[in-house]
Structures are given as structure tokens and as C-alpha cells.
Structure 1
Amino acid sequence: MLALRYTFPPHPRCPAVGLWGQLRMVSSSSSSSSTITAVDDDQLPVIRVPQQLQQKLKRGAGNQVAAVGLTLAKPGRLLIVGKRPQLNQHSGRIFGKFDQVPLVSKGWKHMKAAGDYFTINNTRTRPPALPGDQGEEEEEEERQKSSGKAPSFSSLGLCIELQDALDKMGISRPTTVQSQAIAALMRRKNILCAAETGSGKTLSYLLPLMHTLISERLVPTDADWTGPHGLVLVPSRELADQVCQVAQSLASNLNLNVQTVGGGRGLGNVKLTLSRGQIDLLISTPGILWKALKRDFISLRELTYLVLDEADTLFDASFVELLEGILNHTQIASNVSETHGVERKAQLVVTGATFPGGVGELLSKITDLGSITTIKSKGLHYLMPHVKQKFTKVKRADKLSELLQVLKQLAKRPEFGILVFCNNAATVNWLGYILEDHRIKHFRLQGNMVAEKRSSIFDTFQRGLVDVLLCTDIASRGLDTRRVEIVINYDFPPTLCDYIHRAGRVGRVGGKVLGTVISFVTHPWDVELVQKIEASARQKLMLPGMESKISEATTKIIAEL
């Protein structure tokens, strides 16, 4: 039996209220109506609360409780923690449809808000991309294991050679996204895979691609043909090198020729690379591939597998014309039957964490949209629940001192990496000079650098030879940053999409730490984005304005597994 105690305050217009003294509210499952029982002075009167009202209070309605000044707070870990404790929120708090959502960042456009902060705590202990976590998902995974239905790479039909390669890489089981994507691709379907960063999308397309190359051992029908059987397009040279390393690790004992070409190497080197015998798998950036196609260095006539990785960037205005020109040189299958036989067409894979509105329009020019199966993860466009995210309102003049203070504190943990994001190359260079003055060892990575130098810098950072990397958003798309523990947004990103990608550099599958994102909030337009992020976190909703990009792009082709 639950008892709540309340003392009625004296009321000047109703002195009789004071005669009641103290009341006890006692819940009763058998009462159908509230009753007040008058008793002598030695015993308090009793109010019996009906069961229906109790359930309403537990669901968070709380109107009757608020009327008498009581608060029913659900126990549990704090989701939102800030400088002002009255605005903290427990992870179990649920807002009604018409409830007003309190925001720490509500008044941050005022100059006096400097110094205020709040943190969104992580509510999960590992990336949600892994099947099973706490609570119901873990129980479901145990049920699957006991019934023999837990997904594995062997159950997905991959050849034994690839399974051995995965064992050497220390990968024992597929992520949720990998299970769904590999199963669809093994059935020769075209897919659009929309999943959060760090969920293992690279292996999702590489494994079935290589399985096809191994099992069929394709031979060119044209003796003079120079071109790949499989093609992976990525937006940057750094990502191309990374995907190539993963592919070569898988193909080390498979007798497959894996090559990569990217900007900055010169057309002579590209021609030499493409002339080294039959290429089974080519990883390339759009610009250099388009130049090679125009000069007849390469042909895509017998392409059997086409992957557009980080499609949200490839379909951006800076790449879309190049991409359309490349797609016009390919033949994409419109149904499963066209992926077999002598005149087979290419199977299409489109992957990304977000999608701009022109995806469906462009894809409709090369294939039947009805042939594309969309795989969409449940966590897409939500804040990552396993990553702690802190937001601090600072004056523009104080940002540098705040950054130096954070970096000097984190210098005590040299085993993990730190990414510091800026919105432009000039800020990266300026910060670099400041860190040099303070003897903080670091590297810089920005788009104005020569491509070969950029690749060398990121490789050095990955190997742990330097722990602080100052960078622009060139490092936020697709790169493997499992050793990164801290992401610092020195400049707050201009869009929510950019925030998702930057935050996705920590808490990745296979990483040793969950990681933390620290953001400095300065300008009014920064505050507007932070308010959307905070409201989404408190209400446990998708970030606003993101779902429209998916639905606009894939309205005609969504067929979730």
C-alpha cells in the first residue's frame, strides 16, 4: 500500500481548511471512489485513491498530483545533467504529446548564458549496431542462441575462405545491419542501406561482393577489355585507401586483384594501375574515375557489382554531375534474373547514414526503383545512445582557452585519439600554430592539402603516432576511427547531418571505448541546432528535418526487412 503525506496550507478565505490538519493519502485497489473519513485528533483522516487514478498518475499525467504540489519521479540514471539541477531529467521520464519540454539551452542566445552547460549521458553500454544489449534485446539474443537462430557469417552463406579471413581480423559475428544487408545481397537484390555511422556497412557490401567473385571466377568476354568486375565509389581518397585495406585483408588468400585509384596521384599513375592485369575489385573516387573513363583507360562494360558508399556525400552538388556521368557508363540490373548469364548487368548497392533528396530521381534514370530493397536501421537519425555528449555555451573569445584546458586534461590519456573539428581550413591552420606554441603534439588534416599528404597524415594518426588531429569535415565521413575517444567540436557543425557524422567518429563497432563528444556553442545559429538536439534527446525522438531526406529519396523504393 502506497501512502503519500501532504499538509494543506492555511487559506485566508477558507479558515476551515486548517481544521483538517494533516491528511494521509492511501491507495486502495478496491475503492471505486475517493472518500474522506473524519477521525479524532489522534488519528489522521484517510483519502482512498481509486486504482484508475493511480495508473493515470504512474503514466506521467500527474495533473492531480501537481494540483497538490507533489512530484512523482521515476528512479533511474539521469539522461540530462546540467549546471541547473532543476532542469535535470531521468532516463525514464516520458513526455506527453502536449507537455512542454524544458530546455537548458532555451536562453543560450543571451550573452549572460556563457558558462552554462548540459550533458546527454549514454544509456547503453555498447553500440546498438551489435545485436543484443541490455534489457529486452539481450533476452531476445539469448533466446535466439538457445534456439540456434542467432545470425552468423556461416549461416548467411559466405564461403569458408571469407569466414577464415574474418576470424583472422578478430570479427566473430555480424552486426544487425550486416546480417540484413548480406542476406539481401546474397539473393542478388539491389539494396539501399541506410544505417547509423559505425554500424559496419563496409563489410556489409564487401563480403557478398567477394563471395560472388570467388564463387563465379568471372572471365571477361572481351579479350581487350580493361576494367573491374566490382567497383566501389567513395567521396575521398582517405576513405578509398581505408576500404582498399579492408578489401585486401579479406582477399589476402583469395587470389583476387584489388586496386585503388584516387585524386592526387596523376593520370600516368592511374593508367599504370589500371593496366596491371584483370582487376577484380576497384575502389575509386568519382573525379579520377571520370577522367579515366573519358580517356578510355578503363571500361565498365562488364561490371557486375557497383557500390556507392557514403552516398549522402556522393549525391551532393559537388559530386552529383560526376556520379551521373559514371552511372551512364554502367548497366544496372532491374531484376534478379539480369544478374546472371553472359549479358549480366551490375548489382547495385547504395549505402550511407543520411540521404539527400535527389537520390531517387538519379537512380530512376539507371534502374527500376521497384527493384531496390531498402534496409533502414532503427537508430538512423537518432542521437547515439551509447555516446556521452556535452554542450557548453562559451563566448567566442573564450573558445581557445576552453579548448586548451580540455586538451591538457586529456593529455593524461595518450592511448586514445582526439579529433578536433573546425568548419574551415583557415581555422585548422590557426589552431595548429596555437597548439605548437603550447607544445601540444598534433597533426592537421584539411581539404587544401595535397591528397597524398592527407592520406599519410591520417594513416599516422590511425597508428597512434600522434593523438590529436585538427581537421575539417573531410575526416567525418566514413573513416575508421576506432581509436578515437574524444570528439571536440571547436566550431559547432553547420547542420544536424554534419553533427551526426562527427559524433559518429566515436563509439564505433570494434572500438575499445564508447567515447565522448564535446561541443562549444557560440553563435545564435549554433544555439538553434543545440535546442533541436536537446529536445530530441529529452523526448527520445528522431532529429528534426532528417527523416524527410530519407522519405523524399526513397518513397517509391522502401521495402524494409
Structure 2
Amino acid sequence: MWSLKVGCPALISQKVSRAVAGHIYFSVYAARLRPTTPSTEDIPIIRVPRYVQKRVENPKQTRGKNNVNTIKAGKLLIQSRNASLNQSVGYTHGKFDEPTLCSKGWKHKQSCGDYFTINNIKSVAPYVYGSPEEDAEKPVKTFHKLHISKGLVETLEHLNITHPTTVQLQTIPKVMRGHNILCAAETGSGKTLSYLLPIVHKLQLTEDVFGGAGSAKIRAVILVPSRELTEQVAAVSRSLCDPLGMVTRTVGGGRGVGHIKSVFKRSVPDILVATPGALVKALRRRCLDLSELNFLVVDEADTMFDPSFADLLEDILHHTEIARHPRDTQGPAHKAQLLVVGATFPGGVGEVLSNVTDLGSMVVIKSKMLHFLMPHVKQTFLKVKGADKILELNHYLKLLQQEKGGGGVLVFCNKSSTVNWLGFSLEEMGVHHARLQGEMPAALRTGIFHKFQKGTVNVLLCTDIASRGLDTSRVRLVVNYDFPESHTDYIHRAGRVGRAGGFEGGKVLSFVTHPWEVELVQKIETAARRKTSLPGMESQIREPKPELVMTEQSEV
């Protein structure tokens, strides 16, 4: 058998040819049954990585994980510990793009130690008129152009104030024409002078008609939420009024009825700066009469229209005849001109003012940067454990002492008890400081902030009582030891730096500890990346017409 196979090559070749032919026939038949495919020799082979194939198969799991390069040439707007999350000033997110946040994973305990910074993209505050950030072709205006009396302009020049800010240019002409005003502009933009200058000017023109020695009729009332703010506003008013022979006095909380009566024992002042509670006490005891009032100013309006002050404010408004039209502010039977001023748009203003004036006739002045993060202030957010905050604070205070130029530090806490505890801890560390909180007796609070302004003390521990309206032009650093409870509080606290006439290069440092604080930080970071205003803030007067109609129908 073996010899037959070896000895018969013709037979073997015949069998092989039959087998090959059968294999070819089967291959051709199978090829007819399936679609033809091009040969691998004709096209290049592309091998897809496994991780890319998983992304294609599971798009929902990978949504949002594709990092978009947000870094362009130029200065950084967002600077993070993770450089891949940085964002340049020149980058703009699409309308429907979801920005990747540095604070995205901050609710996890392992995120402690992470941080990011919103850099200052402007060197000068945007509310400074004629600054390099403004249009260079616009002529720089002076107070002479606003038709203010020569004596007031000379007084301003002695105070080294020569050019009005943007909000003053917008507000002063409207007040001079007799309009009721609602002015909402960023902190430190010069709102106090925007209402004081036209008030002093108009009172000076009508001095022979209204007021006078021994008169029981007051001419201008300025309402502010705190006793510290009454002293500050009164100091600015006295600097304008004293050269003109006009009198400014204050009535604040924490004093007895005897003190309130002593303020009006002599003649009634031309301008009275008061807190709502003290003014209501004076009205109920008939220490003054508001029937011939020329001006009623509600400063720090977002606080004054808060429920804690709303009842007192309504009581004061009912003692006042508020003008409904500019012509009502003129003549012997004139009515009071209403000026509502604040750094954020006050919620609930429509419900309160609709009872005393025509909301449609009020002139609303809103800054372009209202409810935006300040572009000239550097703001850093640090995720830290609650037990480590005191050590971080001490570290940054020492760093600031080593820097040249001086300047003060405001450390904000949410509770008075935290201010006291933190003060004891810093004393043990050898940090010289002062404390200011609402539960302090009036005698202790008097003069504390004044010492800080003078530079006797460089570190002030405080609650939000120091975040509203107080002049902190010497402040260089604001520390949110406790993160604020709302965007409004954050705007007011951060507004203690970067004020007109204050330090350039001010900074804000915020310690972030709890999950609910992370949620606020994420909204702030999103607004910074998108270059938009902070969400959930009031931006217009809401008239309560539907509620009034429903009430009338229910009564019928």
C-alpha cells in the first residue's frame, strides 16, 4: 500500500487536484451566500482602542467627561490646582455648554485641600468713570457738569473728589429733577454721594423757605440699618453741610428715649440719619414731624425691605407724604421725594412701596455690573476641614503681615458666638484684633469700627453687621471664615474690598466646608466661567396687582 502511493505520483497528484478543486468550489459557493467584502490588501486596517469603543457603546456614562480645552493665549480667568480645569479670559462657553467646574467633587471628604481662584481681569473698578477700562473717546466729566452749587464743588475738591463715578452721573440729574429713584449699583461705587449731593444742593436753595431755628419740621431723613452706618453716613453729610451752615444729626439704636429726645431739644437738624427703630420711637413720642419732609432716603435697601425691618419701614412711610410725580416735590404744599438705594436689588420693594407711591413713576437705575462678581478683585475658594480653618486663617494673616503696603483684614463669621470663640483662639496665637457683632452692648460697639478705620487695629472679626455699606477703603483682604448663606451676602462681603479710593489689588478668601456651601460655590464658579450675573437675584420691581385683586374678591 505504501509502495503504491510512493510509486504512483500520477495517482497522488490526481487526488490532490480533486481535493483542491472541491475546496475551491465550496469557497465559491459560500461566497455567493454572503456579501462580498473587499480584500484586506486593498484597504488599510483601522483598529479602534477598547476605551473608545466603550464610550461609543455607552454614551450616557461618558457624557460630560470629555474635557474641552478652555485655555487660550492670554490671562487666566479661572486658575485651579488642576491645570486642566483652568480657563482663559478670552474663552467663551456656548449657550448650551455645561462648564466643567473645579468644585464639582467638593462634596467628597477627599477634596479637602483643593482650591481655585477667580482672578482679577481688570485693574480698576468698572464704576470709576474715565478709567482705562472705559471708552477713551468719552470726555471725562466733572461735578460742574452736574449743575451742583459752586460751594459743594469746592468742598469736594478739598476732599480730593474731583470726578463723579458712573452711578453718580446717572443718579444725580434724576434726583435734581424731582424723580423718585430706585438705584441699585455695586458696593463701593459712590452711592452715598449720589444722593447726598443733590439733597444738600436742593436744601441749600430752599433754605429760606423750609427749616430754620426752632422749627419742628425736619427736611431730610436717611434711614440705614445699623448704628455704625448712621455715624458713617452722618460724617459724609457733615463734611458737605458744615461749610454751608447746615446741621446733620444721628439717632441710632441701643439708646434710651431720653437720648432720642435730647437730639431734638434744640432745633431740628436739616438732615437726620437714623435707624428705623430709633426713628419710630421718636415719631411715637412726637419728637419730630415729617409732614413737610423734602427727602426720604432708604439706604441699604435689600436689608431695609427685609421682614425684620419691613414693619418699621411701613410705619415710617405712613407718617410721610410721598410724591407720586416730580411736580409734587415743588411748591409750599410739596411732598417728600423717595430715594431707595442699595448694592443689590431689594426683594419685596413692590409690596411695600405700592401703598405709598406710584411704582410706574419710579426711575430705576441699575448698574451694568449689578449682581456680577467684581472683575477687579481676586477671589479664592479653599476646600478645608472645619477643624483646620483656624490654622489656615492664622497662616494667611501672617503672610499679609509680611507684605508691604499695610491694609486691614475683615474676617466674617455667620454667628456672634463664632466671633467670640475665634477671638479667644486668635488671642492665644498672639494675633491682635478687634471684634464687632450685634449682641455686643451699645457702649462696647461704639468706636470699634472707627478704630479699625483709623488703623489702630488691622484685623476685625465681625458678623454681617459690617458687610452693609460701611466704608472699608483701607481693607486689603476679606476672609469668609464662615461661608455666607446667600449670594447677596457674598456680594456685600466681597464688596468691602476694591472700593473707590481704596487699596488696589484687594483679595477675598473663602473657606468652604459643608455640602450646602459647595452648592453656592458651584453657582458662583458657573457664573464666573459664563461671565454672567449670579442666579436667583431680583432685578426688577414686581407690582403685587394679582394679589390685590384676589384679596378684594375674597373680601366681597
Class of the TM-score when normalised by the shorter of the 2 chains: 0.7 to 0.9
Is 1:365 aligned with 2:355?
A: yes
**Aligned-residue offset at 1:221:** 8.3
What aligned pairs does 1:16-415 form with structure 2 within 5 A after superposition? 16=44, 73-134=71-132, 137=134, 140=135, 142-145=136-139, 150-220=140-210, 225-413=215-403, 415=406
Mapped to 2, the partners of 1:511 and 1:221 lie a distance apart of 37
In structure 1, the partner of 2:514 is 523
Partner in structure 1 of residue 489 of structure 2: 498
| Matched ranges for 1:457-472 at <5 A | 457-472=448-463
The residue identity in structure 1 corresponding to 2:333 is E
Unaligned runs of 5+ in 1: 1-11, 19-66, 557-561
Q: CA separation in 2, counterparts of 1:156 and 1:222? A: 27
**Do the aligned partners of residues 370 and 110 (structure 1) sit closer, same or farther apart at CA in structure 2, a change above 3 Å counting?**
same
Q: CA 1:528/1:257 → structure 2, altered by over 3 Å: closer, same or farther?
A: same
Shift in CA distance, 303/83, structure 1 to aligned 2, threshold 3 Å? same
Distance in structure 1 (CA, Å) of the matches to 2:439 and 2:208: 41
CA drift at 1:231: 0.6
Residue of structure 2 aligned with 1:536, choices 527, 540, 543: 527
AA aligned to 1:196 is: E
Task: Give the C-alpha shift of residue 219 in structure 1.
Answer: 3.6
Aligned equivalents of 1:553 and 1:129: distance in 2?
A: 27
After TM superposition, give the deviation of residue 527 of structure 1 in Å.
0.1
Matched, 1:446 2:444: no
Distance 1:116 1:222, change over 3 A: closer
Whether the aligned pair in 2 keeps the contact of 1:194 and 1:375 (CA below 8 Å) is: yes
Q: Deviations over 1:73-120 (max 9, x none)?
A: 531100001110000000111011121201000000000000000000
The answer on whether the counterparts of 2:323 and 2:337 sit within 8 Å (CA) in structure 1 is yes
- 1:5 — aligned with what? none
Q: Is the 8 A contact 1:387 1:506 kept in 2?
A: yes
Contact persistence 2:214–2:268 (CA under 8 A): no
Contact 2:215–2:267 (8 Å) recurs in 1: no
Q: Is 1:551 paired with 2:545? A: no
Letter in 2 for 1:386: H
- Change in 2 beyond 3 A, CA 1:92/1:216: same
Cα displacement string for residues 49-91 of structure 1 (whole angstroms, at most 9, x for unaligned residues): xxxxxxxxxxxxxxxxxx9x99695311000011100000001
501, 511, 521: which one aligns with 1:510: 501
Q: Take 1:13 and 1:516, find their aligned partners in 2: how far apart are those partners? A: 66
* Structure 2: tracts of 5 or more residues without a match: 1-39, 47-65, 546-556
Structure 1 residue 13: deviation in Å? 11
Q: Is the 8 A contact 2:76 2:87 kept in 1?
A: yes
Deviations 1:124-152 (A, max 9, x none): 001111124445x2xx2x3222xxxx322
- Contact 2:72 2:88 (C-alpha < 8 Å) held by counterparts: yes
Of 509-518 and 269-278, the range deviating more from structure 2: 269-278
**Change in CA separation of 1:85 and 1:278 when aligned onto 2, cut-off 3 Å:** same
Q: Find the aligned partners of 1:411 and 1:166 in 2 and give their Cα distance.
A: 34
Tell me the CA shift for residue 423 of structure 1.
0.4
Flag the 1:70–1:531 CA change in 2: closer, same or farther, 3 A. Answer: closer
Do the aligned residues in 2 keep the contact of 1:227 with 1:274 (CA within 8 Å)? no
Give the Cα–Cα distance (whole angstroms) in 1 for the partners of residues 308 and 153 of structure 2.
Answer: 38
Distance 1:79 1:73 in 2: 10
| Native 8 Å contact 1:257 1:281 kept in 2 | yes
1:193/1:374 contact within 8 Å kept:
yes
Instruction: Name the aligned partner's letter for residue 231 of structure 1.
Output: V
Q: Distance in 2 between matches of 1:223 and 1:486?
A: 46
Tell me the distance in 2 between the aligned counterparts of 1:318 and 1:280: 28
Q: Is the 8 Å Cα contact of residues 231 and 282 (structure 1) preserved in structure 2?
A: yes
AA aligned opposite 2:411? V
Q: Give the total of aligned pairs.
A: 487
Q: Specify the code of the residue in structure 2 equivalent to 1:486.
A: L
2 CA distance for matches of 1:132 and 1:533?
29
1:484 corresponds to which letter in structure 2? V
CA distance in 2, matches of 1:214, 1:437: 54
The answer as to whether partners of 2:247 and 2:271 remain within 8 angstroms in 1 is: yes
Displacement of 1:14 after TM fit? 9.7
Q: Contact 2:216–2:268 (CA<8 Å) still a contact in 1?
A: yes
Distance 1:227 1:267 in 2: 20
Greater mean alpha carbon deviation, residues 446-455 or residues 399-408: 446-455
Distance 1:188 1:217 in 2: 17
Q: Is the 8 A contact 1:116 1:393 kept in 2?
A: yes
Q: What is the deviation of 1:410?
A: 1.5
SS of equivalent to 2:270? strand
Equivalent residue number for residue 447 of structure 2:
456
Max Rg structure: 2
The question of whether the paired residues in 1 share the 8 Å contact of 2:71 and 2:86 is answered with no
Cα pair distance change 1:514/1:13, threshold 3 Å:
farther
**1:16 positional shift:** 2.9
Q: TM-score, normalised by structure 1?
A: 0.83
Q: Does 1:436 align with 2:427?
A: yes
Deviates more, 1:277-286 or 1:440-449: 277-286
Distance 1:14 1:553 in 2: 72
For the 8 Å contact 2:301–2:342, the answer to whether it is kept is: yes
Determine the structure 2 residue equivalent to 1:476. Answer: 467
CA shift, 1:222, in A, is 11
